Chain A
Amino acid sequence: MLIPCPWCGDREDSEFKYGGAAQVAYPQDLETIDDPTWARYIFIRPNPKGPMAERWVHTAGCRRWFNVVRDTVTHEIKPIRDHA
């Protein structure tokens, strides 16, 4: 699989590490949130059949984290801008 690193261009997936679902925000109000909310952050991630926003890090390259949308059926990858 080729992964489009926003800094280095298309590279083989063996250069990257997978970082799971993207756009999963770290909870802000840690003192007040309840256990189920925290547990959802720790343990629950989307696992769609089809397009999925996910994070990768170019470990064997520029070491930058970035987000892409990958179709989990076809492995078609589209870059997205938001790197949070």
Chain B
Amino acid sequence: MAETIAVRGGRVIDPASGHDAVADVLLQDGRIAALGPDAGQGASNVIDASGLVVSPGFVDIHCHLREPGFEHKETIESGTLAAARGGFTTVCAMPNTEPAIDSAATVRYVLQAAAAAGNARVLPIGAVSKARKGEQLAELAELAEAGAIAFSDDGDPVWDAHLMRRALEYARMLGLPVIDHCEDKSLVAGGVMHEGWVSARLGLRGAPAAGEESMVARDIALAQATGGHVHLAHLSAAGSIELLRAARDRGLPVTAEVTPHHLALTDAAVLGDPQDEAGLAYDSNAKVNPPLRGETDREACVQALADGVIDCVATDHAPHATEDKLCEFDHAAFGISGLETALALCLSLVHDGRITLPQLIERLTVAPVRALGFALHVEGLGMLAIGAPADVTLFDPDAEWVVDPLQFASKGRNTPLAGRTLRGRVVATVYAGRVVHDGR
């Protein structure tokens, strides 16, 4: 049973209420019991948050926990522990598992494994199509009844436009969004990185930005035609953001996310430092889909997050085993293990003055909750309201640390940030009134 905890003396930022002041947060019976100066006075179990930021627990609407089927890459237990380390108390599990999360039984399996691990709240995302083959709708209503909170064939696009149309119509009846990984495979044509000067230099097959943009345009047209809610996963291209901006101006039911790596890195991460004695990096840990793109694209992502055109940050945490990456670039798996570096990468935008700290916290908490309509499922998620889940993240926005993948809780050590000094560290994470990460 969760005990009473007083988080005392931190800078409490709750974007949902606009609160930003030094205060205490009192957690009781897994809920927020009180918030205010001295609200924690007299409590026996105190977390001293002085000098730290206290925020609602972060919400990641896009991560790959790999279980069932790929337990050598990640398990629900290791993935949720990585979430806790990264300050995330709620994560949405993508259904590209084996079997895919395309049945009520698999949804229940994920929920049970998550409850057993107890590190974070896991909200499963059901597959749009049976076995994610893009041919026939999965049993969306049964998935929803079992606890799926959205539908996606992520890892792949819903390539068939007719199926996408029907999925949006059907999901609209259920009041749930369809999350699409926008990638026209015929245009991407086997590209392994962004098509730009780095791919030209490295002699690698490029994936043009138009491969994403053309499917974003299709999805926006279908959102308009059906009234169904499309959520655009991991946007990476400036052209996609132009289309999104226009769609939102027209009031269409389209929301979007961006990853920390697309906010902070470009395709030059694949190149590495040519002055290195071993030459160019061909860093397979920077191989991700959608690819890290050019500086113009990165800049557009940052701007769109700052001005609210992109709703929120989502990690697209994609852990892989060492052997999946320690090979020729063309053979390497796509993905970055991102939960444990997400906050620090995002904070670079705050440190650079591109976004305020409360804005960033909003994009990590209540904004994703609103984007996908989670208030339907868990009341008070992403905020520090009285009675809301006692999910709290404490972090030091200025503390510097060096990324050592071997220290990750995730089984996936695949990050292009190894050895990099990042600024901003999660100090403690409380999920449902229990301390699940304590780095004090």
A in complex with B: no
